[in-house]
Structure 1
Amino acid sequence: MAVSPRSANYERLEGGMGPSRNPAGRRFAWKKFAIAAAVLIGFVWFVGPREPRSFSWGSAKNEYHYPGTNVDTLPLPGPPSTTKPKPDTNVNTAIPTSFESDPDPSKTPACTRPFTPGSPLVQYALMIDAGSTGSRIHIYKFNNCAASPSYEWEVFNQTQPGLSDYARDPQGAARSLDILLAEAVRVVPPHLRKCTSVAVKATAGLRFLPGSQAGDILKAVEDRLRTEWSFPLAPGEAVAVMDGKDEGVYAWITANYLLGALQKNKGTYAVLDLGGASTQIAFEPTRAAKVGLIDEGDHRYELTYGSDKHVLYQHSYLGYGLMRARKHVHQLVEFIADIHSHNEKGEPNDVGNPCLAKGTKKRVEIKDVRGDRNITMVGEEIGSFEACNRVMELVMAKDAICKVKPCSFNGVYQPSILDAFPTGNVLLLSYFYDRLAPLLPPLPSSVHPDTPLTLSISTIASTARTVCAGREAWLEKWGAHPHVMTELAGRPEWCLDLTFLHALLRLGYEFSEEREVNIAKKVEGTELGWCLGATLAVVAGELINKCCNDRLP
């Protein structure tokens, strides 16, 4: 029987992690972990990832307002055109699902005239996701054949690094988006560009920048959009850092909209998104769950789709994205090693790290109150899923004070998954997919490549265990797949990544090992994530500029 981590007595760091052999012949002091546990917990509390929280558990709802509107909940446009009845009965051509298959991007096979006179037949919207590791543009096409815009297809492009890498060069950050906007110029018909709104929403990467650096970058981006490009800025704060709660909710909207869960009314997906600097969870308690599971406050989010009202639980964990988790684990392991052993010059030798696969090593940069330094982390003989998972127990901060119960991790309120969402579908996005999909058996050729992959939480654990075991275990499992071997050899932190994914789901959110989840990157060619959900909100509330109609051929 599965035991909930909330009630389990965890085995703390008490040895068992094996010896470490480095060039200096020093053994990593794993058997002293128990002595350092109290120190580590305090260390995690003070220097680990923390998101300021404000618990306002009053009667006020967490409402969302569009610029220029008075709505209390989040209305959405209709479903994709492929499922919407066509207003023109004489139009029978199938709706294109991509730019490449669209014979005329300035028109639509769904109808020959817009539902509302004066509106353009089709319209485009541009959403730039300025993430922590890169910037991505989503170019969306909609038609106006019905009372609300209907989605048709997307063009996606990306560039690296992210805006936060230009912390001291705001103009360089602004110029880095030019390649993405040039793609929009290629896709959007010329006569529609002046009414194709663009928004740039930065996520957790910019939230970490100190002082005015984030603001300087956003101002430079906005100025360049106004002066160098013909696309108008979207209503409201078109260039801004997105609120974490919106990031999670919009990802929920995107997934459930594309998968048809909102239209079919058969129960929605819980959506878990994992970025580089933050991770989000959003779910709607199942109908069978008892009423009132979500307390009033910042975690409660209400929206409407048609006549249906949805009440979601949501939270964004700043500092628990995959890249931040890596930094935190390395920092934690190096801190332990520094407590116990130094070489003659007072600098630590190569540091044994149980979260690197056996036989691998990686040079990492450590930044903390003691300054910046480069350390070589080595997996050697100590790398293992079990040993790494003990480190993750500290990273997840399950012992943090829970002001409003129950809590998931890091002291954050969350209704129990076992009570609120015991059997519903769970969809994992972004880095969940990127790290798991390459290691799973490929889909049969008869199955659409965008079909979500289904696996259990225990499969993630067993996959992590194999990756952490090193090259011999890789050969046994993936020897017939050279591309997998190459990937694993080139990424020593894959062991860390998979163990963190499992810890986030099992230890953090408290899914059972037997729980099945889905991973996906696209649905019928459209990228999953928050961007389409955010764009649907803009398109639903935006007044169409009549200049578009004036320029229709």
Structure 2
Amino acid sequence: MMAEPREMKENKLWHRPLIIFITVLIVVGIIALVTTAVVQNKALPKKYKYGIVLDAGSSHTAVYIYEWPAEKENNTGMVRQTHSCNVKGKGISSYAARVKEAGMSLKACMDEAKGKIPVRRHHETPVYLGATAGMRLLMKENETQSEQVLSSVADFLRGYPFMYEGARIITGQEEGAYGWITVNYLSKNFHQERSTMGALDLGGASTQITFVSQLRVESPENSLHFRLYGNDYQVYTHSFLCYGKDQALRLTLAQQLQTGDRHLSDPCFHPGYQQEKSVDRVFGSPCVSTSLSRPTYANFTLNGTGNAKLCQSNVKRIFNFSSCTWGRCSFNGVFQPPVEGKFGAFSAFFFVMNFLNLTSSSLDESKEKLEQYCSKPWDEVKQSYSAIPEKYLAEYCFSGTYILALLENGYSFTSDKWRDIKFLKKIGGSDAGWTLGYMLNLTNMIPAEAPDAPPLPHSGYVSIMVLFSLLLAALLLLLACKVFGRPTCAQNKYVI
């Protein structure tokens, strides 16, 4: 075979380093693209912001710390609860006679909050205190004392390195609305366009019901309109002051004491339970109507008989179902449309029903189990639940009976509607309650309109760019082979 011509050898010698150079450039380009994509999508250290809300309830105060990524401040579903602390002792309204102690009662929990939040974030962390029904009652009873208590807690909170944003008494309507916002925000119902969940809240001095109604809300004071993430919500809400479980017990006892008998046989307490009670404790509440006659004696003896059915009859007497000037009412002449959709029942609704193991029972099952529980002898109950303070343990029979009466007879959750109630404490690690909704509202973290978003998420954009870059590189490589490639020697035959 004849040796290759000199010209062909020279072309091959010239093309080989060029092809190698182009190939190296393509490989380097691919590596650079992939490396850029990986680095771009690498998880970065997150920077968080914080907020503190104090729930100054009638029976106690709780401090909640919330956290959210600083760079995504207005994105839904980003705020979460990171810590909670229950203040020892009663609510701030109990400090009416010693107002200077009201602020100091918060010290242990606020010191905890100071340690939980990074020091560099202290100065920008807002602190809100919202007082509920206990302070509403004190305001009705003694406005000066209520203002002094709020001033005491305000002065105390200003002493911390946080951004103090106020301490005030929130209305019952606000409490209901913020609770509704909280459960739907945590359930991600707003931005995913799901049906919203109604909110049922029960405290020591008040109870709230809030839900979206498809019917016209006849009473303007019970109607709220929200525009959240581009959607409109017409919400019904009402707060019943004096119908929290503690005040309801006082109302029930006051009714029974109208007989004038110092020895009260009470079916809402276990058989064998006996306790000396103060008349002042019952009739000293502004919730107890002045139309009821107050006994002349200072104390009375409460003897438990443990009969849930009789207890329910006594409880129903504190509701007025006879007068209604609207198309329909719940009780006490208050307008309420028919309950619609699913409901989340939290706060005391959950704690009482959870203790009684009734959170997943039907209405009929709940009544049956409650009858069995209330009929248990007091000594047996104390032995079974020795870790629970007797004051609270003694009232579970009444509280459970009251909850069933309130939900069934007050709010009209009949047997078929009962399954729509979900008793819950937390949603995704955050407590269900009004505090998160309160902070979200005050910090404007829920936009009225849905936030704009690019057509593709960032990771999707990078992936597509890398894919097209690889395809382009492959095409360039193929083109280089076609342009610079030559027929092999075997394909070129020369005659000798």
Percent of residue pairs identical: 26
Quote the Cα distance in structure 2 between the aligned partners of 1:402 and 1:325. 21
Question: 1:457 maps to what in 2?
Answer: 363
**Runs of 4+ more than 6 Å apart:** 484-490
AA of the residue aligned to 1:431? A
**1:333 and 2:260 aligned:** no
Question: 2:72 maps to what in 1?
Answer: 146
Q: CA deviation at 1:265?
A: 2.3
- Say what the alpha-carbon RMSD is for the aligned residues: 2.6
Question: 1:181 maps to what in 2?
Answer: 110
Quote the Cα distance in structure 1 between the aligned partners of 2:73 and 2:64. 24
Question: 1:353 maps to what in 2?
Answer: 266
Question: 1:155 maps to what in 2?
Answer: 83
1:378 corresponds to which of 286, 303, 313: 303
Question: 1:191 maps to what in 2?
Answer: 120
- Aligned partners of 1:351 and 1:378 also within 8 Å: yes
Q: CA deviation at 1:492?
A: 2.5
Q: CA deviation at 1:466?
A: 1.5
Bigger Rg over Cα: 2
**1:132 and 2:58 aligned:** yes
Q: CA deviation at 1:387?
A: 0.7
TM-score by length of 2: 0.73
1:409 corresponds to which of 302, 326, 331: 331
Quote the Cα distance in structure 2 between the aligned partners of 1:319 and 1:333. 17
AA of the residue aligned to 2:233? H
Q: CA deviation at 1:198?
A: 0.5
Q: Aligned in 2, Cα 1:295/1:456: closer, same or farther, shift over 3 Å?
A: same
**1:122 and 2:45 aligned:** no
Q: CA deviation at 1:379?
A: 1.5
Alignment of 1:42-61 (within 5 A): none
Give 3-state SS (helix, strand or coil) of 1:145's partner: helix
Instruction: Specify which structure has the higher proportion of helix.
Output: 2
- Aligned partners of 2:245 and 2:399 also within 8 Å: yes
- Aligned partners of 1:352 and 1:377 also within 8 Å: yes
Q: Aligned in 2, Cα 1:260/1:455: closer, same or farther, shift over 3 Å?
A: farther
- Aligned partners of 1:359 and 1:470 also within 8 Å: no
Quote the Cα distance in structure 2 between the aligned partners of 1:372 and 1:243. 36
Deviations 1:310-368 (A, max 9, x none): 111000000000110111111111222x0xx5xxxxxx2x2111221223223332233
- Aligned partners of 1:460 and 1:498 also within 8 Å: no
Quote the Cα distance in structure 2 between the aligned partners of 1:153 and 1:300. 29
Q: Aligned in 2, Cα 1:147/1:254: closer, same or farther, shift over 3 Å?
A: closer
| Larger RCO (alpha carbons 8 Å, 6+ apart) | 1
Question: 1:116 maps to what in 2?
Answer: none
Alignment of 1:361-372 (within 5 A): 361-367=274-280, 368=283, 369-370=294-295
Quote the Cα distance in structure 1 between the aligned partners of 2:131 and 2:82. 20
Question: 1:538 maps to what in 2?
Answer: 442
- Structure 1 residues not aligned, in runs of 5+: 1-87, 94-106, 109-120, 342-347, 442-452, 543-553
Q: CA deviation at 1:541?
A: 6.0
- Aligned partners of 1:438 and 1:484 also within 8 Å: no
Q: CA deviation at 1:89?
A: 5.8
Q: Aligned in 2, Cα 1:296/1:379: closer, same or farther, shift over 3 Å?
A: closer
Quote the Cα distance in structure 2 between the aligned partners of 1:129 and 1:89. 42
- Structure 2 residues not aligned, in runs of 5+: 1-38, 284-293, 447-496
Q: CA deviation at 1:488?
A: 8.5
Q: Aligned in 2, Cα 1:284/1:355: closer, same or farther, shift over 3 Å?
A: same
Q: Aligned in 2, Cα 1:92/1:191: closer, same or farther, shift over 3 Å?
A: closer
Q: CA deviation at 1:258?
A: 1.1
Question: 2:343 maps to what in 1?
Answer: 426
1:169 corresponds to which of 87, 98, 123: 98
Quote the Cα distance in structure 1 between the aligned partners of 2:219 and 2:311. 37
Quote the Cα distance in structure 1 between the aligned partners of 2:329 and 2:392. 37
Question: 1:498 maps to what in 2?
Answer: 400
Question: 2:352 maps to what in 1?
Answer: 435
Q: CA deviation at 1:125?
A: 0.8
Q: CA deviation at 1:202?
A: 0.5
Give 3-state SS (helix, strand or coil) of 1:266's partner: coil
Q: Aligned in 2, Cα 1:490/1:180: closer, same or farther, shift over 3 Å?
A: closer
Q: Which range moved further: 145-154 or 459-468?
A: 145-154
**1:304 and 2:230 aligned:** no
Quote the Cα distance in structure 1 between the aligned partners of 2:58 and 2:190. 30
- Aligned partners of 1:300 and 1:311 also within 8 Å: yes
Quote the Cα distance in structure 1 between the aligned partners of 2:129 and 2:413. 34
Question: 2:18 maps to what in 1?
Answer: none
AA of the residue aligned to 2:401? T
TM-score by length of 1: 0.66
Quote the Cα distance in structure 1 between the aligned partners of 2:137 and 2:184. 30
Question: 2:188 maps to what in 1?
Answer: 260
